[in-house]
Amino acid sequence: MSLYAISDLHLSFDEDKPMDIFGDNWQKHQEKIKQNWLEAVEENDLVLLPGDFCWAMYLEDAYKAFEYLEKLPGKKLLLKGNHDYWWTTIKKMRNYLQENNFNSIDFIYNNSYEFGNYIICGTRGWTISDTDSENKKILNREVQRLKLSLEYSKSNFNLDEKNIIVCMHYPPIKEDHISEFVDLMKQYNVKLCIYGHLHGNAQKEVKEGLIEQINFKMVSCDYTDFKLIEIN
């Protein structure tokens, strides 16, 4: 059983949302992802997808994107991104998957997930350097969502000899700013945080490696050349 991660697939089957505005490397990116996925992932593996899965506005409009994902090998675990407008309650989303026989897909949303020696937690996150009152309100809510996810893991799993991974969509670090998300991760002894969201010129803001005793990894698909990153 192997663990992989890739984010920001931005799948678009019925929506006119070309991603090549961020560079020519985005041309036919859905085919690139599929080919790389088939070469790497086996049925008993898990793939983490932290946000911006597809451009559908409503859950029922995301059928082709979920169908695309269902046909790929492995279990898939989705997290909300800022462009996942179709996202709703976890009950409605799981009912939708069940009704359409999308049996290899699940979600991280105020919960956590056990896979081998790993516990997967996470939340969407938010912009961490904006002090606007409304943005601060959203930021605080997202910090609480991450806490709910981490507490869920404590209540539902035996954490002995388990490694906690936090998935976020927004980067929880920017330049030298250490966010409340990072402070919370340290309290729960998180060892790895993966994130996405950044494209094009914004990728100059990527921070990776060991920071505050946590290993950070950026997994936006254009940053990884549309390859899945194996988590060790």
SS3 of 26-62: the string is: HCCHHHHHHHHHHHHCCCCCEEEEECCCECCCCHHHH
Q: Residue 205 sits in which domain range?
A: 3-231
What is the per-residue pLDDT across 63-80, written as a single tens digit (0 to 9) for each? 999 999 999 999 999 999
State how far the Cα of 74 lies from the Cα of 39, in Å rounded to an integer.
Answer: 12
pLDDT (mean) for 201-207: 90
* The residue to which tokens 């599929």 are assigned: 34
* CB-side neighbour CA atoms (13 Å) of 62: 23
Domain count, the chain: 1
Give the percent of the chain with pLDDT over 70.
Answer: 98
For the whole model, what pTM was predicted?
0.94
What is the per-residue pLDDT across 20-68, written as a single tens digit (0 to 9) for each? 777 788 888 999 999 999 999 999 999 999 999 999 999 999 999 999 9
Question: CATH number for the domain including 180?
Answer: 3.60.21.10
* The residue to which tokens 């911006």 are assigned: 52
* The residue to which tokens 């990776």 are assigned: 208
